[in-house]
Structure 1
């Protein structure tokens, strides 16, 4: 009898967690779709955690700023970083020497660190310099958990579908801190509410 109650509690709790995460994915206004060479990755953005960062990401997406931007730093077993709209556009303005140092024309953002969410596989976080209030346009997708990042970098979303495609992104040279030669790119990025 107690085992049955425990199993029922687990199902209820698991169901609530799943429903909570699914609620973000079901909101087209806060769903970002990244087209990679192998298909689409769907990211549930988290304005509940980082409203200013999510607003800025959506603004950049709607400007087309992320289209053709390189995954310039990719460390196997850690994360894939992209989003340098100033130096990372592989169709115009790409600079192998400067990519990773730029942002956008929009202002840097004050940190919106979460004390409850953790950096797990599929979490999307904002890249920044040593200044906690320096995130702008660059973000990264986690391949694996990274507890040292918890509460230190702003979490803006979670990959809902397509993580197996993120796993295929070309990896960088570990000896060069993940710098990628001839990197993969985000071919197109859109907000689901905007249609195709």
Structure 2
């Protein structure tokens, strides 16, 4: 048996993302991207993601969020993170760190892939996987930006602590 460092039933590495359509359970992967997971947990515990828009949602590809400006140009008050590329493939429900053309520019924005996206492999940091509720991610309003963007109602750690 392979140990991933974060199993689906590890509340300290599980995030619940509430959408208007339902709850999405995300398994964080500190074994792949420890610094990105640390940042996400910190921002989740600060309530940073609560109320943020999905500002870029491309059908068949991905839904992106995490910008407090709602435009795709913003981030948190913390410095950018260095890339933590791995051999983990982008499959349906994979969470990746959004960035600019600079691989070391990820901050607070992330995306969830709707389908297999091999062109992202080794180019973006994988830090999590949707393990339940992907049907709710599928229902996020599409567009760049969507005419009526959906929001993250609330994000919190499954164990309720940092």
Partner of 2:141: 170
1:111 aligns with 2:64: no
Which is bigger in relative contact order (C-alpha 8 A, separation at least 6)?
Answer: 2
Aligned-partner Cα distance in 2 for 1:180–1:154:
25
TM-score by length of 1: 0.79
1:152 aligns with 2:118: no
Residues 1-196 of structure 1: pairs in structure 2 closer than 5 A: 16=1, 20=3, 24-85=7-68, 87-88=69-70, 99-114=71-86, 116-172=87-143, 178-194=144-160
TM-score by length of 2: 0.95
Aligned-partner Cα distance in 1 for 2:8–2:44:
17
SS for the counterpart of 2:129 is strand
Aligned-partner Cα distance in 2 for 1:39–1:126:
23
Structure with the larger helix share: 1
Q: Is the 8 A contact 2:80 2:105 kept in 1?
A: yes
Aligned-partner Cα distance in 1 for 2:78–2:7:
25
Q: Is the 8 A contact 2:62 2:112 kept in 1?
A: yes
Q: Which of structure 1's runs of 4+ aligned residues deviate more than 6 A?
A: none
Spell out, residue by residue over 1:54-99, the C-alpha distance to the aligned partner (whole angstroms, 9 max, x if none). 00000000000000000000000000000113x13xxxxxxxxxx1
Q: CA deviation at 1:144?
A: 0.5
Backbone CA RMSD of aligned residues: 1.5
Q: CA deviation at 1:179?
A: 2.0
Larger Rg: 1
Q: CA deviation at 1:23?
A: 5.1
- Of residues 22-31 and 140-149 in structure 1, the stretch that sits farther from structure 2 once superposed is 22-31
SS for the counterpart of 1:193 is coil
Q: CA deviation at 1:22?
A: 10
SS for the counterpart of 1:106 is coil
Q: Which runs of 5+ in 2 are unaligned?
A: none
